[in-house]
Amino acid sequence: MVMVFSDKQDMWNWEKFSTFLFFDKKLHRSESNEGSLKSRFKTLQAWFVDKDFTRENFTLLISHLSDKEYSNTTLNKIILTGKFLCEWQGLHTLDTVTYFRVGRKKVDYLLPEEVDALSKVKLPYGRLNEIYNFRDYVVIQLFYACALRIDEVAELKWSNVVEDAICYLVLEETKGQHLSNSSEPEEVPLPRRLYDLIQQLPHHGERVFDSQRGNKFCKPEFNRMLKRRAAAIGLEKPVYSHVFRHSKLSYLAQIMKYPLKTVSDFARHKRIETTSRYVHTRIEELYALSYASPLENKEGAWPELHKLALDYLKRLYGAASNNELLKAIQEMVEYQTGLKESLK
């Protein structure tokens, strides 16, 4: 079936198409995701304004965008949007169109001490220097501690920061956004320390991170601020809002060794397969397995295995040196000794 120009009016109606995407296909609807989908839809609409919607013309579009050095990931997203259009219209035009091969992008996770260092940088904000730096400190610590998405931070209301037997956040359904597992608001545990810090922030509106003028949390501005903080401490890893979520989930799964199902529940993922992406075993961590045989001489491996154990413990305790690790372990022993005494 070929769609001719006179039949295109409904096909290029974003409102109707978006209803199909977010309610029929159940795609995650956030401000950023909707903006990206709409942009790709507009790209297709502009190309086919004077062309028939055929596989040949679609292939020409992909070739044109490839010549403009669009990445394979972006091209795949445009192909997917085209396939969604076909499904919505009951067409089979793009059934045989395949995706480009894309290597999995390796995320350079942040260590807890790097997150802490980023949050403690003092940027020059003029007369509001102290207020803004404190706000930045709280929001960075919150991103990491609760593994939040940027829309969840932007939409967080004062009424949804709850103090009870434990402290927690209530994540409500934002405009058009479907929560991960149900239509019910989700509860995310919040460290008491962060609850107290949030209460010290100025109240400028119903949302926690509204600006002094009541404007909504600005995502591009936040990411620019993170880059300035990274430069200030000489951190060369890519830093952006979502890296805190990636880093926390990776830390829970790989360093703390929490069960994947537990990490998945904490992350509010629909599928545990999504959580499994945060588990990346390093070649050094597999080193001991190569000696798991009676044929291997373990004696020569102890120095390397000792280094691996120290490296693991340093990451676990957030220690930058052997001395810091020793101090952290001594503090833990003292705490456990005091706890035993108090229980006698």
pLDDT for the residue numbered 103: 67
- Note whether residue 228 is domain-resident: yes
Give me the domain span that covers residue 306. Answer: 283-343
* pLDDT on residue 99: 92
Do both 133 and 267 map to the same domain? yes
Question: Is 119 in the same domain as 221?
Answer: yes
When pLDDT is cut at 50, 70 and 90, the band that residue 172 belongs to is confident
pLDDT at residue 210, as a whole number? 86
The answer to whether position 13 is within a domain reads yes
Q: Is 169 exposed, middle or buried (0-12, 13-18, 19+ CB in 10 A)?
A: buried
- Residue 303 is assigned to a structural domain of this protein: yes
Q: Mean pLDDT over residues 2-24, rounded?
A: 75
Does residue 140 fall inside a structural domain?
Answer: yes
Tell me the backbone φ, ψ of residue 37, rounded to 5 degrees: -65, -40
Does 97 fall in a domain?
Answer: no
Backbone CA torsion sign across 202, 206, 208, 210: negative
Are 141 and 229 in a shared domain? yes
How many structural domains is the chain composed of?
3
For residue 194, being part of any structural domain is answered with: yes
Q: What is the pLDDT of residue 297?
A: 67
Same domain, 119 and 257: yes
Q: Which residue has the higher pLDDT, 295 or 146?
A: 146
- Check whether 226 has a pLDDT greater than 90: yes
Looking at the fold, whether 244 and 161 belong to one and the same domain comes out as yes
- Report how far residue 153's alpha carbon sits from residue 142's, in angstroms, rounded to the nearest whole number: 8
| DSSP for 236-299, written as a single string | -S---HHHHHHHHHHIIIIIS---HHHHHHHHT-S-HHHHGGG----GGGGGGGGG-STTS-GG
In the prediction, which pLDDT does 275 show? 87
Inside any domain, residue 263: yes
If residue 167 lies in a helix (H) or strand (E), which one and from where to where? strand 167-171
pLDDT at 182 over 60: no
Residue 213 has pLDDT above 80, yes or no: no
Same domain, 269 and 305: no
Question: How many CB atoms within 10 Å of residue 239?
Answer: 22
DSSP label at residue 233: T
Q: Which of 25, 58, 89 is the last residue of a domain?
A: 89
Which percentage of the chain shows pLDDT scores above 70?
Answer: 85
Please name the amino acid found at residue 200.
Q
| Measured CA distances, 110 to 5, 114, 119, 241, 248 (Å) | 51, 6, 12, 12, 8
Same domain, 191 and 235: yes
pLDDT of residue 284: 60
Mean pLDDT estimate for the chain: 85
Give 285 or 330, the one with higher predicted confidence: 330
Query: What are 10's two structure tokens?
Result: 């409904």
CA-nearest of 21, 32, 13, 25 to 218 is: 32
If you average pLDDT over residues 175-187, what whole number do you get? 58
Is residue 227 in a domain?
yes
Task: Return the amino acid letter for 186.
Answer: E
This prediction's pTM? 0.64
pLDDT score for 280: 66
267 and 149 belong to one structural domain: yes
pLDDT band at 306 (very low <50, low <70, confident <90, very high): confident
Q: Which residue has the higher pLDDT, 270 or 173?
A: 270
Confidence of residue 1 (pLDDT cuts 50, 70, 90): very low
129's tokens: 């220097």
Please report which confidence band the pLDDT of residue 181 belongs to, taking 50, 70 and 90 as the band edges: very low
Clarify whether residues 166 and 76 are in a common domain.
no
Over 50: is that where the pLDDT of 177 sits? no
Residues 249, 126, single domain; the answer is: yes
Domain boundary among 256, 278, 300: 278
pLDDT, position 212: 72
pLDDT for res 320: 67
In angstroms, the CA 224 to CA 210 distance is 17
Cβ proximity of 48 and 57 under 8 Å = yes
